[in-house]
Structure formats: C-alpha cells, structure tokens
C-alpha cells in the first residue's frame, strides 16, 4: 500500500459481537490484503458505500438478533444510493429496478402497500441481515471490487450464522447467491432459493412468495416473525 494511504483495519470497524463470531472463519492474511486494497480504493475514490456506512448491515443486525439473511451482490455504484444494506437505498433516493420488484413481490405475497421509501433500515432493525457478496464498489464500475477478498468475508458471515443455534432463514436470490446454500449445513436453519429480482429476468423471483415463507419458517421455530411492511427505520 502506498505510504500516503491511510491504514484501514476492516475487522476493527466491525461491531464487537460480529468480530467475535467472524474471526475464527477468516484468514488474517487475506483480510489484511483486503483492508489494504479497500483503503487504497477509498483514497483513489469515489467508492461506495462511504466508509462510515461500510458495515451498516452488521451494526443494525447483530448475530444474536439475526433471523433472516438476504444476500445481494454489488452495492449500488451510483452516487448517493448505497448505504451498506443490500438492495436498500437512502431516504429520498429513487427506488432501483431490482428493489421495485422486491416491493412488487412483497405486495403480491403479503398485500403490503408499496413502501414510500427504498430504505430498508426497518427490516435490518428486526433481524434481517441485508448483506452484499462484495461490500464495496468503485463509482460507475459494477464488479470492480470482485475477487479481492470480500467473497471470503461473505462466506465467513454465512458460516458464522450457520453456527448459531437459533433458526436463521437464508433468502438466496439469483445464481450467485444460490451457490451459497452449500455453506448452510445446520438442519435448524432454512434455505429459500429464488431467482434474482433484477428486471432482466424476474420470472424466477416474482411469485416465489419469500416473505410469507420466511415468516412461516420463523413461526415454526417459535420465533417472532418479520413485519415486512416496516421497511424504513
């Protein structure tokens, strides 16, 4: 890393509870290399989400409270959109096409009115971990931070959740996310797969009724269900 690049320790930025459960699943050398890469990218910038929002999903949803995982891919790569939660956008930002399909399915599944905002903080606060497979992206360059180590971090997160005793429902949408089902071996947990909500090919997602299915799986385990109508925090 260049001498003028500020040091960035990604693990140090994580909330304490997450750091404790993730550390056994992470390779220190790989995390160090990822930290150096991400630090240099933030200096070169712009990179999204802003560093202060990098681990928002983890801050809002500690592992002990996690009941549902929704796995995305890249953060949004346009200015003002990404804020650390997969699929979510900040208040006042136009709802992106994939999230529009998520809301469309939510309405078909549970009769929920279309939310007035694309901010999903309210889901996260109820125990929905809105995780991207890659947590950072260069502005205007989707996939620019792939294969740099974030994928291993995401896998470690899934393994850490798999080790929990309380049921977690894994909502895996799209080909990439569905491959992660192999990381879930605990029979206590439930994996629900569907197509990606992208408008490019939404047929495998629309009609999949993931929200009612997730709530049924939680109720079957005696756990509180998610109020999916409460999207904004």
Task: List, in order of start, the domains of the chain with CATH numbers.
Answer: 10-220 (3.40.470.10)
- Model pLDDT for residues 141-191, shown as the tens digit of each residue: 999 999 999 999 999 999 999 999 999 999 999 999 999 999 999 999 999
Residues in the chain: 233
Helix (H) or strand (E) segment spanning residue 155:
helix 150-162
User: Is 109 one of the catalytic residues?
Assistant: no
- Model pLDDT for residues 122-142, shown as the tens digit of each residue: 999 999 999 999 999 999 999
Catalytic residue among 4, 27, 74, 227: 74
Bridge partners for 137 per DSSP: 48
For residues 58-87, give the mean pLDDT. 96
Q: In a 10 Å sphere around its CB, with 0-12 CB exposed, 13-18 middle and 19+ buried, how is residue 25 labelled?
A: middle
Residue 74 tokens read as 């890249």
Residues 132 and 73 sit within 8 Å (Cβ to Cβ): yes
CA distance 50 to 16: 20
Residues 12 and 54 sit within 8 Å (Cβ to Cβ): no
Cα-trace Rg, the chain: 17
Q: Is this prediction's pTM over 0.85?
A: yes
Secondary structure E strands in the chain: 47-48, 68-72, 128-132, 137-138, 169-173, 190-194
């Amino acid at each position: 890393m260049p001498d003028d690049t500020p040091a960035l320790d990604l693990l140090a930025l994580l909330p304490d509870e997450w750091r404790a459960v993730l550390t056994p699943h992470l390779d220190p050398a790989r995390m160090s290399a990822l930290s150096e890469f991400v630090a240099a990218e933030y200096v070169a910038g712009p990179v999204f989400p802003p560093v202060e929002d990098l681990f928002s999903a983890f801050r809002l949803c500690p592992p002990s409270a996690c009941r549902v995982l929704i796995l995305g891919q890249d953060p949004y790569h346009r200015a003002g959109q990404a804020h650390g939660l997969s699929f979510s956008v900040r208040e006042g930002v136009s709802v992106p096409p994939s999230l529009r399909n998520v809301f469309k399915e939510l309405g078909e599944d549970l009769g929920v009115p279309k939310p007035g905002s694309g901010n999903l903080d309210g889901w996260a606060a109820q125990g929905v971990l809105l995780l991207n497979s890659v947590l950072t992206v260069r502005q205007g360059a989707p996939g620019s931070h792939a294969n740099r180590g974030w994928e291993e971090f995401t896998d470690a997160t899934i393994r850490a959740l798999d080790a929990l005793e309380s049921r977690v429902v894994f909502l895996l949408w799209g080909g990439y996310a569905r491959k992660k089902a192999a990381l879930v071996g605990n029979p206590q947990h439930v994996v629900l797969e569907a197509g990606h909500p992208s408008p490019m090919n939404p047929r495998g997602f629309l009609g999949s009724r993931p929200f009612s299915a997730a709530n049924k799986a939680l109720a079957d385990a005696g756990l509180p269900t998610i109020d999916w109508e409460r999207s904004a925090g």
